[in-house]
Amino acid sequence: MNFNQLPLHERILKAVADSGYTKPTPIQAQAIPKVAKGADVIGIAQTGTGKTAAFTLPLLSKLVDKTEAKEERHTRILIIAPTRELVQQIHENIRGYAKYTNLRTGVIFGGIVDRGQIAKLNSGVDIIVATPGRLLDLVDRGHGNFQHVQTLVLDEADRMLDMGFIPDIRTVMKKLPKSKQTLFFSATMNTQIETLTKEFLNSPTLVEVEKRASAAETIDQQIYEVHQHQKTELLEHLLDSSHELYAVMVFARTKLGTEELVTALKMEGITAEAIHGDRSQGQRRRALDDFKTGKVRVLVATDVAARGIDVDSVTHVINYDFPEQSEDYIHRIGRTGRAGVKGVAITFVSPANQNALKKVEKLIGKTLPKKQAEGFKYDQAAEELRPEDRPRARKIAKKAGTNTGRNSEYQNKFANRKNNAQAKKRGPKKSAKRRRR
Ligand code: AMP
> Nearest C-alpha to atom 14 of ligand 1 is from which residue?
50
Report the distance separating Cα 56 and Cα 8, nearest Å. 11
Residue 234 has pLDDT above 80, yes or no: yes
Give the mutation target among 4, 46, 93, 310 for probing the ligand 1 site: most ligand atoms within 8 A of CB.
310
Average pLDDT over every residue of 242-258: 91
Q: How far is the CA of 48 from the centre of ligand 1 (A)?
A: 6
H or E element: which one contains 343? strand 343-349
Q: What is the pLDDT of residues 376-385, one digit of tens each?
A: 988 865 444 4
Residue 403 has pLDDT above 50, yes or no: no
Looking from the CA of residue 24, the nearest atom of ligand 1 is 19
Average pLDDT over every residue of 53-63: 96
Predicted confidence at residue 419, as pLDDT, reads 54
The answer to whether 181 and 152 are in contact (CB under 8 A) is yes
Cβ < 6 Å from ligand 1: which residues?
Answer: 21, 24-25, 28, 47-53, 310, 312, 338-339
Looking from the CA of residue 46, the nearest atom of ligand 1 is 2
Report the distance separating Cα 48 and Cα 340, nearest Å. 8
Tell which wins on pLDDT, 388 or 194: 194
Domains and CATH numbers, the chain: 3-208 (3.40.50.300), 219-423 (3.40.50.300)
Q: How far is the CA of 80 from the centre of ligand 1 (A)?
A: 19
Among residues 63, 380, 57, the alpha carbon closest in space to that of 225 is found at 380
Looking from the CA of residue 22, the nearest atom of ligand 1 is 20
Q: How far is the CA of 32 from the centre of ligand 1 (A)?
A: 14
Q: How far is the CA of 364 from the centre of ligand 1 (A)?
A: 23
Find how far residue 83's CA is from the centre of its chain. Answer: 9
Average pLDDT over every residue of 292-309: 85
Q: In terms of DSSP bridges, do strands 77-80 and 151-154 run parallel, antiparallel, or are they unpaired? A: parallel
Residue 389 has pLDDT above 60, yes or no: no
The answer to whether 237 and 289 are in contact (CB under 8 A) is no
Q: In terms of DSSP bridges, do strands 272-275 and 248-251 run parallel, antiparallel, or are they unpaired? A: unpaired
99-113, 134-148, 201-215, 332-346: lowest mean pLDDT where?
201-215
Q: How far is the CA of 13 from the centre of ligand 1 (A)?
A: 15
> Nearest C-alpha to atom 16 of ligand 1 is from which residue?
50
Average pLDDT over every residue of 216-230: 89
Predicted confidence at residue 281, as pLDDT, reads 80
Residue 211 has pLDDT above 60, yes or no: no
Give the mutation target among 8, 18, 338, 341 for probing the ligand 1 site: most ligand atoms within 8 A of CB.
338
Q: How far is the CA of 290 from the centre of ligand 1 (A)?
A: 21
Q: How confident is the model at residue 271 (pLDDT cuts 50, 70, 90)?
A: very high
Q: What integer best gives the mean pLDDT of the chain?
A: 84
CB atoms inside a 10 Å sphere around CB 282: 10
Average pLDDT over every residue of 254-270: 94
Q: How far is the CA of 416 from the centre of ligand 1 (A)?
A: 45
Tell which wins on pLDDT, 410 or 80: 80
Predicted confidence at residue 136, as pLDDT, reads 93
Q: How confident is the model at residue 432 (pLDDT cuts 50, 70, 90)?
A: very low
Looking from the CA of residue 19, the nearest atom of ligand 1 is 12
SS3 369: coil
Average pLDDT over every residue of 43-59: 90
pTM of the predicted model as reported, rounded to 2 decimal places: 0.61
Q: Fill in the amino acid letter for 413.
A: K
The answer to whether 213 and 188 are in contact (CB under 8 A) is yes
> Nearest C-alpha to atom 18 of ligand 1 is from which residue?
21
The answer to whether 44 and 214 are in contact (CB under 8 A) is no
Q: How far is the CA of 28 from the centre of ligand 1 (A)?
A: 10
13-17, 116-120, 307-311: lowest mean pLDDT where?
307-311
Q: How confident is the model at residue 215 (pLDDT cuts 50, 70, 90)?
A: low
Predicted confidence at residue 340, as pLDDT, reads 60
Q: How far is the CA of 299 from the centre of ligand 1 (A)?
A: 21
Among residues 21, 25, 16, the alpha carbon closest in space to that of 210 is found at 25
Among residues 79, 113, 72, 73, the alpha carbon closest in space to that of 93 is found at 79
Predicted confidence at residue 282, as pLDDT, reads 85
Give the rounded percent of residues in the chain with a pLDDT score beyond 90.
56
Average pLDDT over every residue of 90-106: 95
Q: What does the buried/exposed string (b/e) look like for 93-125 if buried means 16 or more CB atoms within 10 Å of the residue's CB?
A: bbeebbeebebbbbbbbeeeebeebbebbeebb
Q: How far is the CA of 164 from the centre of ligand 1 (A)?
A: 28
Q: How confident is the model at residue 24 (pLDDT cuts 50, 70, 90)?
A: very high
> Nearest C-alpha to atom 13 of ligand 1 is from which residue?
50
Predicted confidence at residue 363, as pLDDT, reads 83
For residue 273, what are the contacts with CB-CB under 8 A and spacing of at least 6? Answer: 262, 286, 287, 290, 291, 296, 298, 299, 300
> Which residues are 153's β-sheet partners?
79, 183
